[in-house]
Amino acid sequence: MRFRSKLPDVGTTIFTVMSRRAIDEGALNIGQGFPDYPIDPRLADFVHDAIAAGRNQYAPMEGVVELRTQIARKLEASYGGTFDPELEITITCGGTEALFDAIQVSISAGDEAIIFDPAYDAYEPAVRLAGGRCIRIPLLPPDFSYDWQRIKEALSERTRLIIINSPHNPSCTAITEWDLAQLAALVNDRPITILSDEVYEHVIFDGRRHASVLAHPELPERSFVVFSFGKTLHATGWRTGYCVAPAAMTVELRKVHQFNTFSIVSPLQYAITRYLAECADRIRDLPRFFQTKRDFLSRQLQGSGFRPLAAAGTYFQLVDYGSLSRERDLEFADRLIREAKIATIPLSVFYAEPPSMTLLRLCVAKRDETLAAAALQLRAFSERQTRA
Ligand SMILES: Cc1ncc(COP(=O)(O)O)c(C=O)c1O
């Protein structure tokens, strides 16, 4: 029998490809977005305690209530309003599961979802599996701003979902309250759900406040908002996140969640509950922590030929190699792995139709030694390049 693929054009993600290439070539991997430093030892102790206390059986389908209660408090402190832990918050397998579930319940056969390029790669396959199709609207470098007129023109009778992401991976921009007001006006009298991917809510720089959809006066009533403890606790392998949505939308989301993952690792949920209660200062410190890393990398790259673009948030930093080469980013990134022994992510892979550009994505969520070593290797590469 010939098995029919539902996603024939989807291959292994660029992150996996680049990470494998990094291992094969003995290259330093500063492409994929994961920290290479340890988690807070208190958090590790809390996991140990939870396991020792016997928190090892199925957690409730919607998540441990103590954790959902802590999350509600955290959301109220950050964004105002009130959130019902019983009816509006669901613990999921990372932000990724929350995105998938929200897309499955929002999109039916023939529906359209608007997404913005450069787009995180999990959105489109989930829309297609639900029977829908994505209308991809480009955000263009260097500022990657939203063209609200163009977005309005892209709406159709079939538009059911708009997916936004802020702080934005991979452009490192942050949405503004003005943008959210444009979005609210656009969807006001239309049957359109918003899926807001806010996994980098705490990784935001230069004194900005994260403009959450949850803080908007009108948008929350039609929005799924997605968060990730993987990002917030420097523990991407924990695969723990959550989704906030109005009660009626949460009922639907949980129908998919229930038969997708059913429930999420128990001891981690208890450990995170304690961490939110006892170590909230560490979370409040995240903007400073990551901004220091962003600035450190930028200083190390000064004069290297890899020019950092303005970065308002996320684990990432875009760099422009245009003064060194006009090669396409895929080829240039491949050459960097071989010749500089540095793995990066070329920006074009996040676009359906990439504009002409010379940008690579680096991850700043690394130890200073890693960032310094990477910058040194990039500098040596560009010196060889300019001598040649
Ligand atoms: C924009 C964006 N959304 C969602 C995710 C997925 O989050 P998680 O690792 O919690 O599944 C990521 C992870 O890199 C991301 O960058």
Q: Is 305 in the pocket of ligand 1 (CB under 6 A)?
A: no
User: What phi and psi, each to the nearest 5 degrees, are found at residue 90?
Assistant: -130, 130
Cβ neighbours of 330 (radius 10 Å): 14
Long-range interactions of 108-113: CB distance < 8 A, separation 24+: 108/132, 108/160, 110/158, 111/158, 111/159, 111/160, 111/161, 112/156, 112/158, 112/159, 112/160, 112/161, 113/159, 113/160, 113/161, 113/162, 113/163
Q: Is 354 in the pocket of ligand 1 (CB under 6 A)?
A: no
Domain borders along the chain are 14-38+284-387, 41-282
Kind and range of the H or E element at 345?
strand 345-346
* 388 pLDDT more than 80: no
The percent of residues in the chain predicted with pLDDT above 90, rounded, is: 95
353: confidence class by pLDDT, cuts 50, 70, 90: very high
Segment 201-209 shows an average pLDDT of: 97
The percent of residues in the chain predicted with pLDDT above 70, rounded, is: 100
Query: How far apart (Å, rounded) are the C-alpha atoms in residues 320 and 327?
Result: 12
Tracing tokens 């040194």 back to the chain, one arrives at: 376
Mutate to test the pocket of ligand 1, among 99, 227, 228 (most ligand atoms within 8 A of CB): 228
Mutate to test the pocket of ligand 1, among 120, 225, 236 (most ligand atoms within 8 A of CB): 120
> pLDDT tens, 71-100?
999 999 999 999 999 999 999 999 999 999
Number of Cα atoms under 13 Å in the Cβ half of residue 259: 5
Tokens of 254: 């949980």
12: confidence class by pLDDT, cuts 50, 70, 90: confident
Q: Is 241 in the pocket of ligand 1 (CB under 6 A)?
A: yes
Give the atom of ligand 1 at the shortest distance from the alpha carbon of 197. 3
**Domain 14-38+284-387 carries which CATH code?**
3.90.1150.10
Q: Is 199 in the pocket of ligand 1 (CB under 6 A)?
A: yes
Q: Is 94 in the pocket of ligand 1 (CB under 6 A)?
A: yes
- Find the 324 Cα to ligand 1 centroid distance in Å: 31
Tell me the average pLDDT of the chain. Answer: 96
Tracing tokens 């998938």 back to the chain, one arrives at: 100
Mutate to test the pocket of ligand 1, among 169, 224, 239, 349 (most ligand atoms within 8 A of CB): 169
Q: Is 236 in the pocket of ligand 1 (CB under 6 A)?
A: yes
> pLDDT tens, 34-52?
999 999 999 999 999 999 9
pLDDT at residue number 257: 98
> pLDDT tens, 255-276?
999 999 999 999 999 999 999 9
Please indicate whether the domains covering 14-38+284-387 and 41-282 agree at the CATH topology level.
no
> pLDDT tens, 170-198?
999 999 999 999 999 999 999 999 999 99
Query: Left, alpha or beta for 19 (phi > 0: left; psi -120 to 50: alpha)?
Result: alpha
> pLDDT tens, 224-250?
999 999 999 999 999 999 999 999 999
pLDDT at residue number 15: 85
**Domain 41-282 carries which CATH code?**
3.40.640.10
